[in-house]
Amino acid sequence: MSGLTHLDEEGSARMVDVGTKPTTTRQAVAQGRITMAREAAAAIRAGSVQKGDVLAVARVAGIMAAKKTSDLIPLCHPLPLSKVEIDLALDEEGVTATATAATAGQTGVEMEALTAVSVTLLTVYDMAKALDKRMNIGDIRLLAKTGGKSGDWQA
């Protein structure tokens, strides 16, 4: 059915069989941003948010989320991740999160990187929502991927 690998001949959802694919080194980088009031960003920078160290907790949450991607996204394969790294850049108007996920496996890690970014930003929101309920999470996207049959890709 139109080349969509997660659909069978009848159009029903299915998990793709990757058992015969070769194991290759794969990496994906995703990014997203949360914008907020300057006062909220200043409180995060100063470490004065009541719930604690926002960036440290968000980083750990993103790493944990990447490891749970197959539990959250129904047709994703569980992957043995060799690396999950979350870089956070705080400026006067918010936080940009960049996640890198890597594995040696039979399928890519794009969803793991995207999940890591999403949960990282949701955690920032949760920890700082008392300071600014109008925070905006957005621009979540894949920046690059390497490895696999389709090869390397960059936005």
Catalytic residues: 126
Q: Going by C-beta distance under 8 Å and a sequence separation of 6 or more, which residues neighbour residue 70?
A: 76, 77, 78, 79
Distance CA 83, CA 100 (A): 7
User: Helix 110-128 to helix 54-67 angle, to the nearest 10 degrees?
Assistant: 150
Query: Is 32 in contact with 97 (CB distance < 8 Å)?
Result: yes
For residue 83, how many other CB atoms are within 10 A of its CB? 12
